[in-house]
Structures are given as C-alpha cells and as structure tokens.
Amino acid sequence: MLMTSGLVPFRWQNARRPIATLAPMAGVTDASYRQLIKTLAPEVIVYSEFLSTDALAYGGKKTMAMMHFDPALERPFIVQIFGKKPEHFLEAAKIVEQMGADGIDINMGCPAAKVVSSAHGSALIKTPELAAELVHATVKAVHIPVSVKTRLGWDTPATLIPFCTRLVEAGAQALAVHGRRFTDKFTGSADWVPIYALKEALPSVTIIGNGDICCAQDALDRIGNLDGVMIGRGTIGNPWLCRDICDAFAGKGIHSTRDAMPFAQKIPFILEHCALAVKTKGERKGMLEMRTHLAHYVKGMDGAKDLRARLVRVETLEEAKRILEPFVACT
C-alpha cells in the first residue's frame, strides 16, 4: 500500500475536522495553484483538475502530464477522474495509484454541456446503476480511498440520498456535494439543506459541502453537521481564502486576508504563483495560463482596468515583474 509523506496512508475518516478542501477546477487547480494554496494553508486537501479515464487508459501524454504533482508540497493529493466506461476506470485508477496519489475522486457533478452530452459528469446522476458500477470498478482496482463529487440531483434533490447511498454501498468513502441541481448550473444560491440531510442519513460517511463559500464566515455558517467544506471559485484571485477558513475552523478568528492586505503586500504572492507556473509548465505556457489569474488578482484595486489590460498580455515572468514591482516601490 502506498504511503503519504508521513508514512501513514491517507484516509478520509482520519482527516482532521472540519476538513477544508480545494475544489477541482478545470484550468485552475494545476500544480502551481495547488502548491500556492498549500503554502498559504498546509491543512487544505487539494485535487487535480478533472482527468479523462479514457485518455488515461490510452496513455494520453497531455492528460498524464496533468497528473504531475510534488509529493513534498501537495499531500494529501487527490486525483479527480471522469468518464463512463468501467474498464477504463479500472485502468485509470491503477495508473493514479502507481503515480503516488493519496486518493481518487470521481466527477459526477460537472454540468458543462460537452461533458454531460457524452454521458459524463452530472449525467451519471440519471444512471445510478452505472454510477455505482464506476465506483465499484475503481475501488476494486486500488488500495487508496475513492470519493465522489456530485450535485443535489438532476432536477430535484429528492434523489440525493438514494443516489449517494448506492455510491457508498459500491465503496465510496467520502462524498462532496455541490448545493445545486444540474438544471441550476451555477445560477441562484447553493442549497445546503439537502446536504445536511444526507449526512444524517449516512452518518459514518465523510460528507463535504460545496457552493458559494466566498469568505470564512460562509464556511462557519454552512458547516453545520458536515465533515468539511470544499472551496472553489471563491479562491480565484483570493488564494488567501483557504487560510482564512482554516484559521476560522481552528478558532483563530474571522478575517479576510485579501481585504486587509494592501495590494503591494500581495505582489510577492502573485509573483510566486507566476514562478510556480513557469517552473511546472515552462515560461510560455505557464505565463499564458497565468493571465486569467492575474486579471482576478487585481480586481477591486484602484486602476484595475488599466493594470488588467497590461497583465492579460504578459508573456514572461520578467514582464510580470516589471508591471507589478513599481506598485511595491510606491508604498
């Protein structure tokens, strides 16, 4: 059995409560972002971007590269996978375990049209038999824990408990539930009440709530009877949110690091994120992908429009430094 860096296998039931996790987000939670988050909040459990089991089973180089992680910096590290073929889940799970991940998460919640039209992601909510078969195929292939991320339901939360019960019976050790139905996409407010009911129905299972966590107070207000929270879009441009939430869970008070920190003090963290992106993906690709992050980092500051217009065109780390470092000198 593979061990974590502390020589103790990761198990969801042993994770310190309340659990804080960084949601898997396509185009966001790559190695550089995960490492930045772990630098700020070591307690946070991080996930990969979601990876195709079909591509993993066929040895797709791009997908295999997306599994890269630094064992010294990112544990516990969970790889999220998606697909619909049990035989590919079995093969993909073996690959994920062999590369050293601490756990596998199955995506049954993505509402993107391209994903759902292929019968992946949220579409699996409509085929609970197949969903359970995918969990079973993954569980029997590996020794590391298997979890599932899903939504309240397709068009009603009434199916949440029976659906998740089947997943647990198939071997899922933890469930992260986004508080919207598939039909909601990302509109309206997340509804956590059905997630609390799920925990009552499955008290021995690790249940994590997800949706509309934008500040530490949100996490405290919504944790309820759950084992943890999953933080997603609220971290984009505000990676300090994870630390704020961990501090709140640890009884260190409610605060917003982003709001309290002058922009000049944020710049070293922003440039560190850029440096990590360059280190993990090379300068051209790393800085190209950093443009979106840079645009979010400057949101709300004086002169954000002009600064954003310059940052979304950066091509090198040095260019980002030239644009940002004068703001440090002005303080």
Q: How far is CA 198 from the centre of its chain?
A: 21
Which has the closest alpha carbon to 236: 282, 200, 281, 289?
Answer: 289
Instruction: Tell which residue, 210, 235, 244, has the closest CA to residue 292.
Output: 235
Q: Is 2 left (phi over 0), alpha (psi -120 to 50) or beta?
A: beta
Question: Of 131, 204, 153, which is closest to residue 174 (Cα–Cα)?
Answer: 204
In a 3-state reduction of DSSP, which class is residue 25? Answer: coil
Residues facing residue 206 across a β-bridge: 174
- Assess contact for 295 and 312: CB atoms under 8 A: yes
**What is the distance between the alpha carbons of residues 263 and 298, in angstroms, rounded to a whole number?**
8
Indicate if 110 belongs to the active site. Answer: yes
- How many residues would you count in the chain? 331
Residue partners of 308: CB distance under 8 A and separation at least 6: 294, 295, 298, 299
DSSP3 helix / strand / coil % (the chain, rounded to 5): 50, 10, 35
Q: Please pick, among 110, 164, 215, 274, the residue that the annotation labels catalytic.
A: 110
Catalytic residues: 110
